[in-house]
């Protein structure tokens, strides 16, 4: 019988996947530490795990990776439709027993801090994921019941299935747990006492990097031991296993090659450039890319025989001296881009392509020199948050008028932000991104699943460049 396109579009894939979300009433409640402690505890019980981070954060997933040894992924309902979000979650669980999702900010804090869209709760609803609400109970007693009452009342989908009491002495945690369970008929599945020896420090863009903490492995193992002493792990597992099957449209499962040729994409990845969505990299691979990782800090030149380059975000401002001193790499990058190699540079990668970058003391450091301008640190976040971008002219990733959702998060600013796109956030708009036929360079971070055409067009540009090379 003939299978029409309409038939395929309506076909569903359903997969059973145990999963749980660690959420909180507000930022600073200890979600990352609790998530990592739980991952470590379950890993030691020989569970095969996958971890995710709600929202655009790049740093928290690095802590997950420190525990599991595999990349954590981002799930962001601002960027992706619900069916695609479920597909990305399901794909990450293909060979795993359990997924642990770390929430972002407060449970209901979405766009603008007042909308549900793009919140942890929106993600939990889109994926039907049970929630463990982690509450920083330091300095609070019975008033916690009022807080929980409000959160449970707002939970119209009834996804909050348990409570974790953080920063609470074990003796008092048992008292609070009894009150909570008798009042709300919801279990307190764990508590975590005040422990300064497992604290994770922060800086201007969030937590410090895991590799900056020499004892991070021991900290997380201690945290895991403490959690296990004060948690009902079996109860947590039962809650995770109660999650219903994940369903998504077949057409959401996008996986096809753009070309049969091997397209070699260089990916800058080291201490300075480490902010990537793993699903972006996986999508490029599914479209035919072979990813070649290199270090602008440590390697002398670009890898040989590349057809395109990705420069992700990160903290290049912490390594300006080293980046400047690696002149051979800077020259190699400049030569490649000037010779029309397709290149995509986001945020920190964009900063690296400038002529000059200032450090915090206003000392100037020479960078690649493709972007004719200077980057300097400001005293506040610039153009912070989600946005929608519209192309002002044809470029390497899309046609004039094409749109994609994106995000900015940076203290540095440039005197050459570009005008290839117009970004809109609420009632504000501004021009951004330096573009031409081989370059996309600006502060916005892209999630390719927000508009897969952008990734496809990048691959097509790389293939055209490869063909041009072979002809010459």
Half-sphere exposure of 397 (CA within 13 A, CB side): 28
Q: Which of 228, 274, 347, 398 is catalytic?
A: 347
- DSSP secondary structure string, 261-302? S-EEEEEE-SSSEEE--HHHHHHHHHTTEEEEEE-TTT-SSP
Question: CA–CA separation, 69 vs 67, rounded Å?
Answer: 6
H-type alpha helices, 230-268? 233-241
- Spatial neighbors of 218 by CB under 8 A, at least 6 apart, are none
Long-range CB pairs of 255-261, under 8 A, 24+ apart, other chains included: 255/286, 256/286, 256/287, 257/286, 257/287, 257/288, 258/287, 258/288, 258/456, 258/459, 258/460, 258/463, 259/287, 259/288, 259/459, 259/460, 259/463, 260/288, 261/288, 261/463, 261/466
Question: CA–CA separation, 22 vs 374, rounded Å?
Answer: 41
Tally Cβ neighbours within 10 Å of residue 166.
21
- Tokens 């996309």 -> residue: 440
Q: Is 375 a catalytic residue?
A: no
- Tokens 């095969």 -> residue: 48
Annotated catalytic residues are: 347
């Amino acid at each position: 019988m003939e299978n029409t396109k309409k038939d395929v579009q309506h076909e569903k894939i359903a997969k059973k996947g145990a999963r749980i979300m660690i959420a909180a009433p507000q930022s600073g409640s200890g979600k990352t530490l609790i998530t990592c402690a739980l991952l470590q505890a379950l890993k030691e019980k020989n569970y095969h795990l996958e971890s995710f981070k709600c929202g655009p954060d790049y740093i928290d997933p690095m802590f997950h990776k420190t525990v599991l040894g595999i990349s954590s992924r981002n799930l962001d309902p601002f960027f992706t439709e619900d069916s695609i979000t479920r597909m990305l979650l399901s794909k990450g669980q293909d060979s795993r027993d359990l997924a642990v999702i770390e929430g972002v900010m407060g449970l209901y804090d979405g766009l603008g801090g007042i909308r549900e869209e793009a919140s942890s709760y929106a993600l939990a609803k889109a994926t039907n994921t049970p929630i463990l609400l982690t509450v920083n109970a330091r300095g609070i007693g019975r008033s916690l019941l009022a807080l929980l009452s409000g959160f449970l009342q707002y939970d119209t989908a009834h996804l909050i299935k348990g409570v974790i009491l953080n920063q609470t002495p074990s003796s008092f945690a048992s008292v609070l747990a009894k009150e909570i369970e008798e009042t709300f008929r919801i279990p307190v599945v764990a508590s975590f006492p005040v422990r300064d020896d497992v604290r994770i420090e922060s800086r201007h863009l969030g937590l410090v990097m895991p590799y900056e903490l020499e004892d991070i492995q021991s900290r997380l193992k201690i945290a895991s031991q403490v959690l296990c002493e004060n948690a009902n792990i079996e109860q947590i597992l039962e809650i995770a296993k109660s999650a219903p099957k994940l369903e998504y449209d077949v057409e959401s499962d996008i996986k096809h090659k753009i070309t049969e040729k091997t397209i070699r994409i260089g990916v800058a990845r080291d201490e300075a450039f480490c902010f990537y969505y793993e699903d972006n990299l996986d999508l490029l691979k599914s479209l035919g890319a072979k990813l070649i990782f290199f270090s602008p800090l440590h390697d002398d030149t670009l890898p040989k025989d590349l057809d395109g380059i990705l420069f992700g975000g990160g903290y290049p401002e912490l390594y300006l001296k080293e980046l400047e001193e690696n002149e051979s790499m800077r020259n190699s990058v400049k030569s490649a881009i000037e010779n029309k190699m397709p290149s995509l540079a986001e945020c920190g990668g964009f900063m690296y392509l400038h002529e000059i970058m200032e450090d915090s003391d206003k000392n100037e450091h020479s960078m690649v020199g493709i972007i004719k301008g200077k980057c300097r640190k400001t005293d506040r976040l610039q153009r912070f948050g989600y946005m929608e971008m519209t192309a002002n002219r044809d470029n390497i990733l899309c046609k004039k008028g094409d749109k994609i959702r994106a995000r900015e998060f940076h203290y540095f600013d440039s005197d050459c932000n570009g005008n290839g796109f117009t970004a809109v956030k609420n009632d504000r708009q501004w021009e951004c991104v330096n573009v031409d036929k081989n370059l996309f360079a600006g502060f916005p971070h892209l999630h390719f699943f927000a508009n897969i055409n952008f990734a496809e067009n990048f691959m097509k540009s790389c293939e055209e460049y490869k063909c041009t090379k072979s002809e010459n």
